[in-house]
Amino acid sequence: MAKSQSGKKWIQKAISKPGSLRKALGFKKGETIPAKKLAKAAKSGGKLGARARLAKTLKKLRKRK
């Protein structure tokens, strides 16, 4: 399980609305979001930018395993 240094499970709490980033970017369920589109969304502000930055972070965690 992914735990931060404080010992709390932050990933479970961070994803409050699964699929909302994909829906906001206009991709169908099951499609992957291209890296360029994700990078562009991460530069934007608000909830969309925050969700895109979290997605990039979670993508990095997945590659390590």
Please state, in angstroms and rounded to a whole number, the distance separating the CA atoms of residues 30 and 47.
Answer: 22
Mean pLDDT to the nearest integer, 8-31: 88
pLDDT confidence tier of residue 60, bands split at 50, 70 and 90: confident
Which one is predicted more confidently, 64 or 38? Answer: 38
Residue-averaged pLDDT of the chain: 85
DSSP 17-31: STTHHHHHHT--TTP
* Structural domain spans, the chain: 20-64
Which one is predicted more confidently, 22 or 60? Answer: 22
At 4 the three-state DSSP class reads coil
The pTM of this model reads 0.76
Token pair of 20, please?
């909302």
Mean pLDDT to the nearest integer, 8-13: 79
